[in-house]
Structure 1
Amino acid sequence: MTVGSIDVVAGIIVRDDRFLAARRSLSMSESGFWEFPGGKVEAEETLGQALARELEEELSIAIDAFSLWKVKEKKVKGRAIRLFFHLVTEFSGAPTPREGQELAWITCEEARGYSFLPADEEILSELSACLQTR
């Protein structure tokens, strides 16, 4: 039985053949894991508004061009979590870690040596094919 659902946006920020990965800080749950930056969609927000807010809050960047790429649904402790993965292909500003996270521009091949959150890990092979066709 699903108690409630949470919508989460994630930004796959792309530059050439690399994407930006963020390592969760010690103060966060699941610290040490790598992830695509993003967070929860707040009430009355569109997915695009949530993505823009989260990336500005976490990285001090403004998104200029993005598109919804994948949607995944997970159940965690009886709660449905819908993950909306967006490809961010243009942005303004230099990504700056504002929440104590570590940042790295990596290729999909290099990502194999990183410990990603399970939901993010699941799409890495699909992301490799997507980036190769860009």
Structure 2
Amino acid sequence: MDTKVNYIDVAVGVILRDQKTYVCLRPTDKHQGGKWEFPGGKIEAGEAAELALARELMEEVAITVTQAQPLTTIEHDYGDKCVRLFVFAVTGFDGEPTGAEGQSGKWLPLADIDIADFPAANREIIEQLRTTFR
């Protein structure tokens, strides 16, 4: 019996400016659809998380990352899939975030983040934001 868990590795960018973070609305036809999320995407085989972050944020929200620090790594089992999130605080970028793939996006004050509006795997990110960036 194989008990090895196959994780989907994802680079996640917590884009920060003026006590706000930029979030995107997941399409309703996707896993965890209809929830807000921090932008990012799958890490390709052999790709470093930092490079995946830069690539995904350019693709998804049309920004060029100029400064990012690792924030945390989270493993979460949704039951139907397991994800490993490599989370970065993005504090420097060129451009203005926008839904480059047609998704809705907005700047959300850190004080207004509601954990219920995000996928369960994001709970730890939100808790860390509340303690780190007050």
Shift in CA distance, 31/78, structure 1 to aligned 2, threshold 3 Å: closer
Match of residue 66 from structure 1: 68
Over the aligned positions, Cα root-mean-square deviation in angstroms equals 1.8
Match of residue 46 from structure 1: 48
Q: Are 1:107 and 2:109 an aligned pair?
A: yes
- Any conservation in 2 of the 1:3–1:79 contact (CA below 8 Å)? no
Q: Displaced runs of 4+ in structure 1, greater than 3 A?
A: 76-80
Displacement of 1:57 in angstroms is 0.5
Q: Are 1:96 and 2:98 an aligned pair?
A: yes
Give the SS at the match of 1:97.
Answer: coil
Q: Provide the C-alpha distance between the structure 2 equivalents of 1:109 and 1:77, rounded to a whole number of angstroms.
A: 30
**1:81 alignment partner, one of 55, 77, 83:** 83
Shift in CA distance, 79/22, structure 1 to aligned 2, threshold 3 Å: closer
Displacement of 1:27 in angstroms is 4.0
Tell me the TM-score normalized by structure 2. Answer: 0.88
Q: Provide the C-alpha distance between the structure 2 equivalents of 1:76 and 1:2, rounded to a whole number of angstroms.
A: 16
**Where in structure 2 are there 5+ consecutive unaligned residues?**
none
- Any conservation in 1 of the 2:115–2:126 contact (CA below 8 Å)? no
Q: Provide the C-alpha distance between the structure 1 equivalents of 2:108 and 2:128, rounded to a whole number of angstroms.
A: 15
Q: Provide the C-alpha distance between the structure 2 equivalents of 1:124 and 1:94, rounded to a whole number of angstroms.
A: 22
Determine what percentage of the aligned residue pairs are the same residue. 36
Q: Provide the C-alpha distance between the structure 2 equivalents of 1:118 and 1:74, rounded to a whole number of angstroms.
A: 8
Tell me the TM-score normalized by structure 1. Answer: 0.88
**Where in structure 1 are there 5+ consecutive unaligned residues?**
none
Q: Deviations over 1:42-99 (max 9, x none)?
A: 0121111100010000011100000101111122447542111100000001112122
